[in-house]
Amino acid sequence: MIEKLPTELKRCKYRVHAVAREYGLRFPEIIYEVLDYEAMNRVAAYAGFPQRYPHWSFGMQYDQHAKSYRYGLSRIYEMVVNSRPVYAYLLKCNNLVDQKLVMAHVCGHGDFFGENLWFGRTDRKALDTFANHGSAVQKYIDQHGAAEVEKFLDICLSLQQLVDIHSQFIRRKPNGNRNGGQSEESGPESVRKLPVERHYMDSFLNPREHVEAQRKELEKKKRERELLKIPESPERDVLLFLIEHAPLENWQRDILGMIRQESYYYLPQAQTKIMNEGWASFWHSKILTGSDKGNAYVQPAPDPVLEAAEVVDYADHCSGTLAMGRRLNPYKLGLAIWRDLEERWNRGQFGKEWEECDDFQEKSHWDRKLGQGRQKIFEVRRIYNDVQFIDEFFTPEISQHLKLFAYRYERSSNTYKITSRAYDEIKRKLLFSLTNYGSPVVEVENANFKNRGELFLRHVLHEGVDLDLKKAAATLEYFHWLWKRPVYLVTVVKEEEIALKFDGTHHQIPAAKLASIQ
């Protein structure tokens, strides 16, 4: 059940938004909707969208959210959709402090969505787009049956992460030629004809048989080139390659295109999870508590939104949100880096002089009173993603302050063991987990392998974390279903390159490697 925003919440909205804008945040119109917990769970199952295509995975998500809420394990406080206008959802049973917190947090997200470079090409009409996808899939269900469409959706969703994270910033040639080559009609390999001054002489100087022979020869050469290797260079946008070249029916090609479009919508959020959540947490703290009051570098600072009696409830809520468990908390890490970044640039703790200073006592009292912190964080918010953010601004002091460590699972003792507290090792693991948002990078290397139309894939950017061969084998079955020909995947297992193959009936996996991971 969706309710209109009550008068009390409207007053909170106007106050929170006014303070946020005083701090310099720039965000579009934000529309809040109040939902009861059942409606909130339904919307959360659809990742914030009120309507999507039917699929069993959404029902599974709803059941998980509903049971977590019912048993008191978790509660959804905040959900926001990157669109124009921004849509955000408030849980009806939350107290007023929580509603203020969510509104302030959403202001931070709205600013980040609108100003960060990596969100520059996302679909701002996503609610309409996703609803249209739902209607189109339902039409195909009516035409081809629910079982057939759901089976194909399962395949598409299993491959949805195989996109190129940089492709949205690549400008294609106007003629649509993805490889930047010349067309047959205008390039150096076009049909050659002798120039004529009178059009009636054309048939004599350029006999039709001669022109046709040239055209057939060009077509033959083109087919030979295509038989050599497709694509000409490795293609990282695997979904696009399948859309363009796999033997699919029109409705299948359309659904795969929808899944690819939705993958690119979610991609910037995966690339900036730590920055985005940290940015929203950084600003909701300032907006609600007025923590800049008394800060010599920020004057004047707006009055806080919270009343004095509400601060304890706010602190109690934040202590749960920022708690660190076995998994990395993006809210906690992002907030720590943003605060450290502002403080360092306010005090001048950067540059050659700072880096070359080896006096601990001098560094601990270092303050050049530059006051550049606010300017710097807005600059970083504009152009960075998580990999760049961690690489440049994650410091040994932050790692020590958050008590971070690297660990691994030991199968022999069925326990997790700390392997290192060293800053370099922690940073390396952080960066690796964020590269390609933690997903393996797979490229189409040859779609005409052995000149038999077989699909050859390669796992690239291998950084010491091997693929799960059982899951890889299952994924090859999906590829074969789409490609209709044998599929190969080359990867690295235990520092040795191996090739997996599925021909439609049998898997070919090196027995020693398969046994070693069972």
Encode pLDDT of 270-308 as tens digits: 999 999 999 999 999 999 998 877 677 777 778 899 999
Out of 163-177, 332-346, 444-458, give the one with best mean pLDDT: 332-346
CA 458, chain centre distance (Å): 21
Look up residue 27 and give its DSSP letter.
-
Quick check: 80 and 240 in contact, CB under 8 A? no
The pLDDT score that the predictor gives to residue 360 is 85
In 348-453, the DSSP E strands lie at 406-410, 415-420, 441-449
- Report the SS3 class of residue 405: coil
- The pLDDT confidence band at residue 462, using thresholds 50, 70 and 90, is low
Lowest mean pLDDT among 252-261, 269-278, 291-300, 322-331: 291-300
Range 346-370 average pLDDT: 90
The Cα angle at residue 268 between residues 344 and 161, in degrees rounded to 5: 130
Tally of CA atoms within 13 A in the half-sphere of 108 that contains its CB = 28
Range 303-322 average pLDDT: 90
- The pLDDT confidence band at residue 449, using thresholds 50, 70 and 90, is confident
Q: In this predicted model, which residue has the larger pLDDT, 17 or 196?
A: 17
Question: Is the N-terminal amide bond of 85 cis, ω within 30° of 0?
Answer: yes
Residue 105 pLDDT > 80: yes
The span from the CA of 40 to the CA of 34, in Å, is: 9
The pLDDT score that the predictor gives to residue 127 is 93
The pLDDT score that the predictor gives to residue 176 is 39
- The pLDDT confidence band at residue 93, using thresholds 50, 70 and 90, is confident
Percent of the chain predicted with pLDDT > 90? 55
Range 196-214 average pLDDT: 68
The pLDDT score that the predictor gives to residue 173 is 46
The pLDDT score that the predictor gives to residue 112 is 97
- The pLDDT confidence band at residue 26, using thresholds 50, 70 and 90, is very high
- The two tokens of residue 331 are 């809210």
Closest to 290 (Cα-Cα) out of 487, 33, 16, 507: 16
- The pLDDT confidence band at residue 157, using thresholds 50, 70 and 90, is very high
Q: Which residues contact 376 (CB under 8 A, 6 or more apart)?
A: 341, 342, 345
Q: What are phi and psi of 180, to 5 degrees?
A: 75, 15
- Report the SS3 class of residue 378: helix
- Report the SS3 class of residue 90: strand
> What dihedral do alpha carbons 353, 356, 358, 364 form, nearest 10°?
30
Q: Which residues contact 177 (CB under 8 A, 6 or more apart)?
A: 183
- Report the SS3 class of residue 172: coil
- pTM score of the predicted model: 0.84
Residue 200 pLDDT > 60: no
The pLDDT score that the predictor gives to residue 183 is 34
Q: Residue 155 belongs to what H/E stretch?
A: helix 146-158
- Give the pLDDT confidence of 463-502 residue by residue, as tens digits: 656 788 888 889 999 999 999 999 999 988 877 888 999 9
The pLDDT score that the predictor gives to residue 181 is 34
Range 5-10 average pLDDT: 89
- The pLDDT confidence band at residue 193, using thresholds 50, 70 and 90, is low
Residue 375 pLDDT > 90: yes
Quick check: 381 and 279 in contact, CB under 8 A? yes
The span from the CA of 57 to the CA of 458, in Å, is: 29
Helix axes 96-115, 273-289, angle to 10 degrees: 130
Q: In this predicted model, which residue has the larger pLDDT, 272 or 171?
A: 272
CB atoms within 10 A of CB 79: 19
- The pLDDT confidence band at residue 182, using thresholds 50, 70 and 90, is very low
Residue 369 pLDDT > 50: yes
Residue 213 pLDDT > 50: yes
The pLDDT score that the predictor gives to residue 301 is 79
The pLDDT score that the predictor gives to residue 409 is 80
- The pLDDT confidence band at residue 429, using thresholds 50, 70 and 90, is confident
Range 256-263 average pLDDT: 95
The pLDDT score that the predictor gives to residue 188 is 44
The pLDDT score that the predictor gives to residue 165 is 87
- The two tokens of residue 142 are 């009516």
Quick check: 242 and 260 in contact, CB under 8 A? no
Q: In this predicted model, which residue has the larger pLDDT, 9 or 210?
A: 9
Lowest mean pLDDT among 195-199, 330-334, 481-485: 195-199
